[in-house]
Copies of this chain bind each other. A is one copy, B any other.
């Protein structure tokens, strides 16, 4: 047995990322690091959760926008579960709202795909050592961008409106009156300083509020 005094066991990592090529490439490169071992890969959030509870990795690297279950949901799931895995979010999007939600969901790291792989390896080591790692570009932005002013209903409705669904359709889907839907949209447009529903949806998305 003998637990070596210096702790030579590699950091066990799980990667959740829906894009196969990136997922495979990251796994291959991280495995070249002597102190890191990629123990599993998942192409969606649900799969990742299953594998995480089965394999109990130290670190879970996850994208945000994935099918089945988003990376933010995954982070929540893992926090409320009984595993010890710490989550590092790895995403394309420098959206303040995403960062904030990631931290709320208990993530320990937030890194952009704009950075080189070496930084990912470094982030893994830091987070494993108990530190938090936030992309410097975002750390500043996040606060001056302000809170998400939208209510749940507004988000729900704005999301559909942004895809070109008519007020009448949205009302039917959510079992509301059409006037109500228009009212929510009017509020949302106002809160976001937009000129119409599509503009509002665009703005909300760009901040990571949808």
Contact = CB atoms under 8 A, between A and B. Distances in A.
Contact of A21 (B116, B165, B196, B198): B116
Interface string A1-30: 000000000000000000111101110110
A138 to B, nearest CB: 15
B25 A29 contact: yes
Nearest to A197: B164
16 contacts: A19-B113, A19-B114, A20-B115, A21-B22, A21-B113, A21-B117, A21-B120, A22-B25, A25-B29, A25-B117, A28-B29, A28-B117, A29-B29, A164-B194, A164-B195, A165-B199
Given A20-B114, A25-B26, 4 more contacts: A20-B115, A21-B117, A162-B198, A164-B195
Interface of A: 19-22, 24-26, 28-29, 90, 92, 113-117, 120, 162-166, 194-202
